[in-house]
Structure 1
Amino acid sequence: MTDITAIILTKNEDVNIERCIKSLNGVADRICVVDSGSTDRTIEIAESLGAEVFYHEPFNHYAAQFNWALDNVDIKTTWVYRIDADEEVTPKLAVEIVAACKEHRDDDVNGFVMKFLIAFMGTFLKHGGMYPFYNLTIFKFGKGRYENRAMGEHIILSEGRILDLENDCLHYDFKGLDAWVNKHNWYATREVADYFSTRTVGQADPNTLYHEARKTSKLRDGFYYRMPKFLRAKLYFWYRYYFKLGFLDGKAGYVHAYLQAYWFRFLVDAKIMEQEIKSKQQNKK
């Protein structure tokens, strides 16, 4: 018994879900799939591999869906592991997770930050600020929840220490560029919602975030959005591709940096401008 419950949020993940669940063998005592309307074989595959499937719609955003899972899947274990369907636990990471959770079950360590190695167009990105990518993914039940953000959400712990794990979790992109573009269009809409909400209701308390989340939140809300619209997308590309050596990842590194800057970041700015124009027009009425 590892005393870990894994939670996977899904919608049409049949190209990913088998790999993800199988990689959790020996890691999680219980695997809970929370689905938001899959029309492919996701549910069939998950159930055939022993996962419990729960349903929750509508899917508003990742944070809300995961917090719903925390409240509704009847967690009995000490630890919760938040894993995406397109992620895979390596054998070395599996051993490390089990050992770390056992060692710190009864002390004040309440969370673990994991390193991710991200694949894009068949290449694992090791430059351009993409590696190591850190995220807090394992925490003690009752000690953490997602902050209420539509994008760029992080798990916030109520108390306790956070430790880093050494081995990588693999993140794949088997759905291809069509899915990437559609997803990032949706991400852009969510990012714009957060952009305006943080200017009216405030930002997450940095003291409750782990180190990587504090850095990301500070760069995004305290620096990036202080630069002029559209110019910041161009500077973002130069930062990722040249300063952070993204060119060392070859053609895949170029495409990724370009799309992140001139598709996603530029699109966010365009949607911000669109919303500002609409607000001005409404104020004139």
Structure 2
Amino acid sequence: MLNPHYTFIILTYNEETHLPRLLNSIYELNAAVCILDSGSTDHTMTIAATYNAQIKQHPFKNHPWQWHHALSTFDIKTPWVIGLDADQVISDELSTLLLNFRDEDYADVSGIYFNRKNYFKGRWLKYGGYYPFYLLKMFRYGIGYSDLSENMDHRFIVPGKTIIWKNAYLLEENLKENQISFWIDKHNRYSDLLAQEEIERRKKLRIQTIKASFWGTPDQRTARLKQMWWRMPLFIRPVIYFIYRYIFRLGILDGYAGFIFHFMQAFWFRLVVDIKIKELLDNEQTD
């Protein structure tokens, strides 16, 4: 008999490297697994089938819309769902909590944040604001939903009470990103989405779904920080952000791999976004 309390939903695209690692980490939980794939051309679907996963495919627009489709299309029989990316792994601590999870013990809770440990080039990024890092990954089916107000960042929104499992970790490591060319190509695509999104925010075509608050949930605090970011001047903010993460949040202690990650993610990527925003604004003025 399958676990009656929760179902795993996983998004995939060419994840033959990562999917066995994730599925092995949740195997003993004996929960239903639903996989939404966006057109893999490797062995992802074969791997998914060996684990008796419920599989569907859908063209990829962006992560928020892909999650929206996943939550809308699968036949979920459990009161809870857990949404995971294919490059994530359930830690032993998190597995223990999930093994003992009973819906009736959380009658007043609608969502649960997991703590994430992010790895880059084999190193845990412990500093630079990357730990602790709380992700709302488990929520009541039919209550939680995908935030469609953003193009790139994806998060679930849950009306009602949420809690944090601070010592239950998702381990996240995208092994394909060990090749910096893959990382650059991926984030170049993301920068297009983010630049267009910010242009639409400037035109009031997008509004935040989450209530911004420094004193609220982890996602509400992030929403407040994003409001501050959008008000900062282009080209200056990537410099400030990198210095903040690398010096004030001690990213320098993450070593060689940490320098590459914090520099590329905090400065290079954000600078590319700002350049593309400027190009879009200039094109509008000449049209």
| Shorter-normalised TM range | over 0.9
2:242 is aligned to 237
C-alpha contact (below 8 Å) 2:89/2:170 kept by paired residues: yes
Separation in structure 2 between the aligned mates of residue 33 and residue 136 of structure 1, nearest angstrom? 19
Deviations 1:214-258 (A, max 9, x none): 1111112x2112221111111111001000000111111111111
TM-score (norm 2): 0.92
C-alpha contact (below 8 Å) 2:136/2:155 kept by paired residues: yes
1:35 is aligned to 37
Amino acid at match of 2:260: V
Amino acid at match of 1:161: K
- Over 3 Å counting, the alpha-carbon distance change for 1:206 and 1:49 in structure 2 is closer
CA drift of 1:185 comes to 1.1
C-alpha contact (below 8 Å) 2:111/2:138 kept by paired residues: yes
2:201 is aligned to 198
2:74 is aligned to 73
TM-score (norm 1): 0.92
Amino acid at match of 2:172: H
SS in 2 for 1:83: strand
- Name stretches of at least 5 consecutive residues in structure 1 with no aligned partner: none
CA drift of 1:202 comes to 4.2
**After alignment, is 6-15 or 145-154 more displaced?**
145-154
- Over 3 Å counting, the alpha-carbon distance change for 1:255 and 1:27 in structure 2 is same
1:154 is aligned to 155
SS in 1 for 2:119: strand
C-alpha contact (below 8 Å) 2:81/2:140 kept by paired residues: yes
Amino acid at match of 2:246: Y
Deviations 1:31-56 (A, max 9, x none): 11101110011111111122221111
Separation in structure 1 between the aligned mates of residue 143 and residue 26 of structure 2, nearest angstrom? 22
Amino acid at match of 1:130: Y
> How does 1:181-220 map onto structure 2 within 5 Å?
181-199=184-202, 200-207=204-211, 211-220=217-226
> How does 1:242-261 map onto structure 2 within 5 Å?
242-261=247-266
**After alignment, is 267-276 or 182-191 more displaced?**
182-191
SS in 1 for 2:233: coil
SS in 2 for 1:25: helix
Separation in structure 2 between the aligned mates of residue 93 and residue 120 of structure 1, nearest angstrom? 21
1:7 is aligned to 9
Q: Give the RMSD, CA atoms, in angstroms.
A: 1.7
Structure 1 segments, 4+ long, off by >6 Å, are: none
- Name stretches of at least 5 consecutive residues in structure 2 with no aligned partner: none
Corresponding pairs, count: 278
**After alignment, is 147-156 or 122-131 more displaced?**
147-156
Separation in structure 1 between the aligned mates of residue 212 and residue 55 of structure 2, nearest angstrom? 31
2:229 is aligned to 224
CA drift of 1:211 comes to 1.1
C-alpha contact (below 8 Å) 1:241/1:247 kept by paired residues: yes
**After alignment, is 208-217 or 117-126 more displaced?**
208-217
Amino acid at match of 1:183: K
CA drift of 1:96 comes to 0.9
Identity over the aligned pairs, expressed in percent?
Answer: 34
SS in 1 for 2:11: strand
Separation in structure 2 between the aligned mates of residue 100 and residue 278 of structure 1, nearest angstrom? 54
